[in-house]
Amino acid sequence: MTGTTADTQWKFNARYVVLPTENVDTDQIIPARFLTTTDRTGLGPSAFNDWRYLADGSPNPDFVLNRPESQGAEVLVAGHNFGCGSSREHAVWALAGAGFRAVVSSTFADIFRGNALGNGLLPIQVSPEVLAKLMSLHTPTSTVKVDLEASTLTLPDGETVSFPVPPFSKYCLLNGTDEMGFLLGTSDDAAKYEAAHRSSFSTLAAGAA
Amino acid sequence: MSAPKTLFEKLWERHLVRPQTESTPAVLYIDLQLVHEVTSAQAFTELRNRGLKVRAPQRTIATMDHSTPTTPGGFKAMPVLDQSAQSRKAQLDQLAKNCEEFGIPLLALGDKRQGIVHVIGPELGLTQPGMTVVCGDSHTSTHGAFGALAFGIGTSQVAHVLASQCLLQTRPKTLEVRVDGTLRAGVSAKDVILAVCTRLGVGGATGHVIEYTGSVIRALSMEERMTVCNMSIEAGARAGMIAPDETTFEYLKGRPHAPKGAEWDAAVADWQTLRTDEGATYDQTIVIDGSALEPWITYGTNPGMGMSINQPVPDPDSLGDRSERDSAVKALKYMGLTAGKKLAGTPVDVVFFGSCTNARISDLRDAAQVLRGRHVAPNVRVLVVPGSQQVKRQAEAEGLDVIFKEAGAEWREAGCSMCIAMNGDQLRPGQLAVSTSNRNFEGRQGSGGRTLLASPLTAAAAAVTGVITDPRTLLEVAV
Ligand code: SF4
């Protein structure tokens, strides 16, 4: 951990790793052959598996996550359109399992963004200029500061930029509640909707047999 | 009179349980959820942990597809199950247990309706115009071909829909992709959508729902429309959709879950209103001249890196900004391809016919049209994996399996197979494949494997010649 004692779950200082690749797809974040798990945990060691390990299973020394200074870094900084492709939430579980608390990019794929927010892995969207600056300012010890409540990211040089977080996601994260609770609370409205939209449609219907 | 609306707006408004507010997303009612083994186990665990039931099992259906064996006899025919097969089987067994416990109908391995989730929904008539359809799978966009709002979700959201039949969503923007003109012979729906992905780029439609319009789209069959909508996600779109018309109704009529009798008439009358009104506006529109399209093929490591088959591989130096150039250089290095050189004539190792993009009966007919009376080139492995058991039976009734087998191709059981390479069907490192699937990401079809995405016709031409080939040269149509 690189943070100070004043750090909280949603306000923290952390070292970061730069992965200057664009369009990082979720097949790279967690290859499909690891998706046979029925758990959410245990995927961290396989994050970026095919970039991170050589064919013989040893760490690829050229991959950024394997550098000594990357150990303990909690923020991943990557090229635009991060998390494209497959909807697998395993990608978020793998990144969280590998110790990341936030990903910074100039754009995120829609499904990945939603999955990340739901799991408390912050997708921090910044302008291409800020992203480029963050990449160029990187040193083994430089840190960023993430503040969810203020929705700000502070760069190593002290520049602070704000990032978009849907108000509802922010509320859920800061209050430790989740979308499921909210949805279950709308159950009466759903019942009214169902009553007003009666349909004979059924996947259980005998006609299917 | 109310303001003119787009098809998307009509579908969105129809499903609002609660509208979007400043502080909360909209609560959207989900008409149909499709479930498969890979993205559901953790959702059922969550329900169990919270003591929740499935709110509407009759709006849910499960199948097995991603990790199922496609070899004859399946697991039973395997002398020993290695560790990977054991974990796949455990995942499938878990799905069966979950469906039983929560009362969800399951089309398991061995069921004559089993198949790829996006193939069976439409073929059983489960997918209908005007519906909201979700699945823990990004290619759920396929179902938009029926004029449904259909999109992929994560596993936590799978749990949300199981428990509440609703989903929290912020309203996306709309993008019209209009394909005008008429397709030339030998140019297919796959070529259209690959060209769209090239035009938009792999993230170009992020935050948007695409509506495909124009004369080319109207002229497509339902199966071809599914191929187009299927790959909407490859441009980053939330969903892709096509307004329903006679082609749609014709396809649906008489399918097991389609409405019958008076209900059918009422449904059609309603479905006919599902179109973008005159005067409604999209946030963005792009137009593609369908008459000018040629067979398309990818050369890089995302579906947006494509070109017409007779063009040379683009030079990274010709691309916009530096990061784009770097990506292209990296992609070409991985693919082992040379900028400025044409792909035609490049030897291939494997040809894969399959996936929710192109493993329906019309796709297999296209492949058979080229393979009939010809033989697979030496040293090329060819797999034909039907999208569902129903497609398999239909193909066998038409004798297509015989054409494939006589040509030297492998005729498999239904499943995702080498599209995602979870089930043991995979490329070896370095192998180059032409695939009718939808993703050419690094290692997608097996660690170190290299994928070129193309239509079934183009894949078939590579299968018989052993090299990348414009299929029109074998079809005796104008190039
Ligand atoms: S065929 Fe491929 S893309 Fe389609 S659902 Fe299966 S794995 Fe996903």
Residue B400 phi/psi, 5-degree rounding, is -70, -35
Closest-CA distance, A43 to chain B, in angstroms, reads 13
Are B199 and B304 in contact by the 8 Å Cβ rule? The answer is: no
For A9, half-sphere exposure in the C-beta direction (CA atoms, 13 angstrom radius) is 8
At residue B407, the 3 state secondary structure works out as helix
User: Using a 6 Å cutoff on CB, does residue B119 contact ligand 1?
Assistant: no
Show the beta-strand stretches assigned E in B97-156: 106-107, 132-135, 149-152
Delimiting residues of CATH 3.30.499.10 domain(s) in chain B = 7-169, 310-475
- Counting one residue from chain A and one from chain B, the pairs whose CB atoms sit within 8 A come to 212
Terminal-to-terminal C-alpha distance of chain B: 50
Beta strands B106-107 and A122-125, pairing class: unpaired
B310-475: which CATH topology? Aconitase; domain 3 (3.30.499)
Alpha-carbon distance B185 to nearest alpha carbon in chain A (angstroms):
31
Which runs of E-coded beta strand occur in chain A? 11-19, 75-78, 102-105, 122-125, 143-147, 152-154, 160-162
Q: Do B58 and A202 touch (CB under 8 A)?
A: yes
Please check whether residue A41 touches B, CB under 8 A: no
Rg (CA), chain B: 22
Q: What angle do CA B301, B196, B371 make, to 5 degrees?
A: 75
Q: pLDDT value at position A5?
A: 54
Read off the DSSP letter of residue A106.
Answer: S
Query: B160, B169, B231, B427: best mutation site toward chain A, by most A Cβ within 10 Å?
Result: B160
Residues facing B463 on adjacent strands: none
Q: Check if the beta carbon of residue A69 is closer than 8 Å to that of residue A89.
A: no
Chain B residue with CA closest to A182: the answer is B168
B203 close contact with A: CB closer than 8 A: yes
Q: CB A110 to CB B57 under 8 A?
A: no
**Cβ(B438) to ligand 1 under 6 A?**
yes
CB hemisphere CA count around B403 (13 angstroms): 20
CA distance B69 to chain A (A): 13
Q: Which residues from chain A sit within 8 angstroms of residue B40, using beta carbons?
A: none
Of B32, B57, B152, the CB nearest to A87: B152
> CATH for B7-169?
3.30.499.10
Residues of B in contact with A166 (CB under 8 A): 25, 170
Q: How does pLDDT run across A16-31, given as a tens digit for each residue?
A: 999 999 999 999 999 9
pLDDT tens by residue, A65-78: 999 999 999 999 99
Query: Could you report the per-residue pLDDT of A182-197, keeping only the tens digit for each?
Result: 999 999 999 999 999 9
B154: nearest CB among A35, A108, A115: A115
Sequence-distant (≥ 6) Cβ neighbours of residue B433 within 8 angstroms: B348, B349, B350, B351, B352, B418, B427, B445, B449, B450, B451, B452
CB B40 within 8 A of CB B136: yes
Instruction: Closest CB to B163: pick one of A184, A197, A200.
Output: A184
What residues of chain A lie within 8 A of the CB of B159, using their CB?
180
User: What is the mean pLDDT of each successive set of 10 residues along chain B, which is 479 residues long?
Assistant: 92 98 97 97 97 97 96 89 93 97 96 97 98 98 98 98 98 98 98 97 96 98 98 97 98 97 96 98 98 98 96 89 85 96 97 98 98 97 98 98 98 97 95 98 96 98 98 88
CA–CA dist A86, B463 (Å, integer)? 28
Angle at A88 between CA B357 and CA B241, to 5 degrees: 40
A152-169 pLDDT, tens per residue? 999 999 999 999 999 999
How far apart CA B124 and CA B63 sit, in angstroms, is: 12
- Taking the C-alpha atoms of residue B167 and residue B170, their distance in angstroms, rounded to an integer, is 10
DSSP structural state of residue A208: G
What pLDDT does residue B479 have? 78
The pTM (predicted TM-score) of the whole model is: 0.96
Decide if pLDDT at A120 tops 80: yes
Say if the ipTM goes beyond 0.85: yes
Full DSSP string of B84-103: HHHHHHHHHHHHHHHHHHHT
Q: Residues 275 to 304 of B: which have CB under 8 A from any A CB?
A: 302
CB distance from A33 to chain B under 8 Å? yes
What are the CA-CA distances from residue B38 to residues A23, B324, B415, B423 (Å)? 23, 33, 13, 11
